[in-house]
Structure 1
Amino acid sequence: MYQATIHERVLRIRNGVRASDVLRVANRMHISKEFLVKALGFSRSAIDRKVKQRKHLSVDQAERVLGLVRLIGQVEAMVVQSGQADGFDPPRWTGQWLQQPTPALGGRCPAEFSDTILGQELLSALLARMQSGAYA
C-alpha cells in the first residue's frame, strides 16, 4: 500500500476490506487484536460481529486499516533504502513502535494517533523525519 497511488488506494478501500483482515494485520505486527482495535478506534464487539458474519469493514474503518498497512510499508521501504533489511521485520517493528512513548509526540505513544487519517499522516511524517535524521 505504501507504493500504491491514491487512485489505487481509493479503489482498494471501495472494493472492501474484510473485518478478518484486522486480525491478520494484528498477527503480522505481533500485537493483540484488542490493542489494534483500540488503537484504530474500533468497537471490539462490532469487529468481532463482522468477522463472525464474514462482512467487510465500513469505508472509514477500511481507510484506517489500510493507513496502518501503509505505515508498515513505509517502514519497510525505509529499511530497504538503508541497505539494512536482512532479518528486519517491519510489521513487528511497527507494532512495537506504536506502543512506545515518543518524545516527538510529547511523550505519547504513536498508537494514540492511529485512529484518524490525519493522525496517521502525522505518524508518516514522523517516520520520514526519523529516516532523514531530523527526528527529535
Structure 2
Amino acid sequence: MSTPHAKVASQKRSKPMPPLADVTKSKPAGRVRSADSVKLKAADNISIWVSKGRTVTIRNADYLSLFMEDALAHVGLVKQGVAPNVIDGLAGGMNVSKDKLLATLGLRRETIRRRAKENQALSAEESSRVLGVSRLIGQVQAIVEASGNPDGFDAAAWVGTWLDRPLPALGGQRPAELMDTAEGQAVVANMILRSQSGAYA
C-alpha cells in the first residue's frame, strides 16, 4: 500500500490525484501560518492588487497569502479589478489550458484578450471569478499545511484535477460546472472542507 507521500509525488507522473483526505490524514494537524507570517516576495511575473489604499503584491503562485487576506480585502481586490495576465499564471499552475480555465469561469476569451491588449483590469464580476478559484487553491494549501504534510503537494494542480471529477454529492456533476458564479464557488469551497474529512473524497 502506497503512502500519501508517494501518492502526492505520483501526480508528477500523471497518475490520479489523491483525495484531499488522504493527503491530510498522514500526520498530526499542525498550525496554518497566519497572514502576517507569510512573506510576499517580488517575482518576475506578479500582479498588483490594490485594496483600501494599500498595495499588495502577490506572486501568481502565492495562493495561500491570498486566501489568508480578510473578506474586506477581497472585496477591495474585486472592485479594483484583477490584471488579465493573472489568468495565464493561474491556468499554468493548475495544469489546464487557458481556454479551459476561461470556459470553467464563464469568461469570454475575446473580452479577456481585449482587456489585456488595452491594459485594462477585469470587471468586478470577472475579477470575482478569478479571485474565487485562486482562493480555492489557497484554501486547499492551508488545509494541507495544517495537516503537517505539505511537502511535494501541488495545491493548484490538485484543484485543477479535482474540479474535473464528477462527484456523487453533486449528482454526478463536476465542481468545475459551478465555478462560473460566486454562489457556485461557495458550494465548491464548502465541499473542499468536507473532503478534508473524507466525506466527498
1:123 maps to which residue?
188
**TM-score after normalising by structure 1:** 0.94
SS of aligned partner of 1:2: helix
2:152 maps to which residue?
87
Q: Is the 8 A contact 2:167 2:200 kept in 1?
A: no
Which 5+ residue runs of structure 2 have no aligned equivalent? 1-65
The structure number with the bigger radius of gyration is: 2
What root-mean-square deviation, in Å, do the aligned CA atoms of Structure 1 and Structure 2 show? 1.2
Q: Which residue identity is paired with 1:94?
A: V
In 2: Cα distance, 1:134 partner to 1:101 partner: 14
Residue pairs, 1:35-114, within 5 angstroms = 35-114=100-179
1:28 maps to which residue?
93
Which 5+ residue runs of structure 1 have no aligned equivalent? none
Q: Is the 8 A contact 1:20 1:54 kept in 2?
A: no
% identical equivalent positions:
43
Q: Is the 8 A contact 1:37 1:43 kept in 2?
A: yes
Q: Which residue identity is paired with 1:111?
A: A
In 1: Cα distance, 2:116 partner to 2:167 partner: 33
In 1: Cα distance, 2:111 partner to 2:200 partner: 37
Say which is worse superposed, 13-22 or 68-77, in terms of deviation. Answer: 13-22
Q: Which has the higher strand share?
A: 2
SS of aligned partner of 1:100: coil
1:10 maps to which residue?
75
**TM-score after normalising by structure 2:** 0.65
Stretches (4+) displaced over 2 A: 132-136
* Aligned pairs, number: 136
Deviation at 1:15, TM superposition (A): 2.2
